[in-house]
Amino acid sequence: MDVQYQVIRSKRKTVCMKVDRNGQVVVRAPLRMRDDQIARFVERHSVWLRRQLTNRPPKREFCDGAEIALCGKTYTVATGERAKLEGGTLLLPSEGREEALCTLMRKLTRERMATLLDRYCAAGGFSYSGLRVTSARGRWGSCSSKKAISFTFRTAFLPDDLAEYLAVHELCHTVRMDHSAQFWRRVAVFFPDYREKRRSLRGYRWAMECL
């Protein structure tokens, strides 16, 4: 397979390969591993690598005129002094645009998910001890044994129905910390179509990579 890749050698015993968020193939190898050995390793994993490169999510652009959906509404990007929502416009500074967007999304996520958690606590008799907004890429949300709930700021990209599903999912974990049949029965009280919600979330995997 003809592909360009970056080799990073370090004091490690094994070799591994990944495709980073920019589509760059990175091979991490032991210090003494020869170039031809690395090339053979890449070739042996060519099927996996081709699949990773083919299925890369499209890169999201945050230039003026681009449209971005945040918290269930679509906004048009324009330049402003600081990141904020103004009518149907998402204002972002000309410099440090992605960082400013991340900061804004953290604020939006906290406000949105706090509202949803409180709504479903009232409706379902749940309680939670705290809310954190994280930069997690591997999961949308989590619940600790002390009933502290966390959501990645990337949930701001999700439509309202999926954000609501996540709120209910984590609140149900305040009662059951597993994914047993009893857990899913609790989720189904609010979302009988929870299986469809889970499938829909897979369509937003790009959100974990674009920022």
Question: pLDDT, tens digit, for every residue of 18-36?
Answer: 887 667 899 999 999 999 9
- Report yes or no on 66 lying in a domain: no
Whether residue 179 sits in one domain with residue 110: yes
Cβ atoms of 84 and 72 within 8 Å: the answer is: no
Task: Kindly state whether residue 128 falls inside one of the protein's structural domains.
Answer: yes
Mean pLDDT within 178-205: 94
Indicate whether 126 belongs to any domain: yes
Which pLDDT score is estimated for 85? 96
Farthest-apart Cα atoms in the chain, separation: 62
pLDDT tens, residue by residue, 109-122: 999 999 999 999 99
Q: Which domain holds residue 167?
A: 105-208
- The verdict on residue 71 lying in a domain is no
45 and 120 part of one domain: no
What tokens appear for 189 in the block? 């009280």
Spell 145-181 as b/e; 16+ CB within 10 A means b: eebebbbbbbbbbbeeebbbbbbbbbbbbbebeeeee
Same domain for 180 and 111, yes or no, is: yes
Q: Is residue 38 part of a domain?
A: yes
Task: Specify if 59 maps to a domain.
Answer: no
Contacts of 154 (CB under 8 A, 6+ apart): 105, 137, 140, 207, 208, 211
54-58, 122-126, 179-183, range with the lowest pLDDT? 54-58
Eight-state DSSP code of residue 21 = T
Of 6-15, 27-36, 48-57, 162-171, the poorest mean pLDDT is in 48-57
Relative to beta strand 84-86, strand 89-92 is: antiparallel
Would you call 172 helix, strand, or coil by DSSP? helix
Which pTM value belongs to this model?
0.73
Q: Do both 48 and 110 map to the same domain?
A: no
Number of domains in the chain: 2
Query: Does residue 100 belong to any structural domain of this protein?
Result: no
Classify residue 189: in a domain, yes or no. yes
Among positive and negative, which fits the CA dihedral 164, 98, 91, 203?
Answer: negative
Per residue in 63-114, pLDDT (tens digit) is 899 999 999 999 999 999 999 999 999 999 999 999 999 999 999 999 999 9
Residue 187 sits in a domain whose CATH number is: 3.30.2010.10
